[in-house]
């Protein structure tokens, strides 16, 4: 018997198509490997929200609560008439936040507190993880019947939620 070779119904793969197929497989393996590497990395970052919150509250006090006003509010110019505990407590009403602002200008020193009783306790707890503390000095202008140079010492504590 004579065997007849039948023509295959599948098209023959040319070398050009083979090269493209191999290139696609390598590309797919490369992309898959990159995705797996990215997923394997520890991409978690710790964001300290307490630090952001405490800085925002201090800036609110300096830029709004105690700001000198003529035609508009003047940030970082403290009006001595506004620099009192009542204004501070009304401006920032957050039970987790407490602060002491000590203003020195000329031969005078004024101190105001936000949540005074809480602050006297919390300022000792700054070393603990649950508390975010902020201490620094800032050169500012003070308005009391004219402008004067002054220093503001800020000691603020925020109890993290």
Domain identity same for 35 and 54: no
Assigned domain for 18 exists: yes
Using pLDDT thresholds of 50, 70 and 90, give the confidence band for residue 28: very high
Domain identity same for 82 and 28: no
Assigned domain for 113 exists: yes
Domain that holds residue 77: 49-159
Domain identity same for 40 and 94: no
Assigned domain for 5 exists: no
Q: What is the pLDDT of the chain when averaged over all its residues?
A: 82
Overall domain count for the chain? 2
The predicted model gives 28-55 an average pLDDT of: 79
Point out the least confidently predicted range of 28-37, 66-75, 122-131, 145-154.
122-131
The predicted model gives 102-127 an average pLDDT of: 85
Assigned domain for 148 exists: yes
pLDDT for 103: 92
pLDDT for 44: 58
Domain identity same for 85 and 39: no
pLDDT for 151: 92
Assigned domain for 152 exists: yes
Buried b (16+ CB within 10 A) or exposed e, 11-49: eeeeeeeeeeeeeeeeeeeeeeeeeeeeeeeeeeeeeee
pTM of the model: 0.65
Query: In this structure, how many other beta carbons lie within 10 angstroms of the beta carbon of residue 52?
Result: 11
């Amino acid at each position: 018997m004579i065997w007849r070779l039948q023509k295959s119904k599948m098209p023959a793969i040319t070398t050009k198509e083979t090269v493209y197929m191999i290139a696609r497989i390598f590309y797919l393996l490369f992309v898959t490997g990159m995705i797996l590497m990215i997923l394997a990395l520890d991409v978690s970052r710790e964001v300290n929200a307490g630090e952001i919150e405490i800085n925002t509250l201090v800036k609110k006090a300096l830029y709004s609560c105690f700001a000198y006003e003529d035609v508009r509010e003047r940030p970082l110019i403290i009006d001595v008439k506004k620099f009192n505990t009542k204004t501070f407590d009304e401006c920032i009403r957050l039970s987790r936040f407490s602060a002491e602002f000590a203003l020195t200008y000329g031969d005078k020193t004024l101190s105001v507190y936000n949540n005074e009783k809480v602050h006297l306790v919390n300022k000792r707890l700054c070393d603990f993880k649950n508390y975010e503390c902020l201490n620094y000095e800032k050169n500012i202008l003070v308005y009391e019947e004219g402008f004067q140079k002054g220093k503001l010492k800020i000691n603020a504590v925020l109890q993290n939620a």
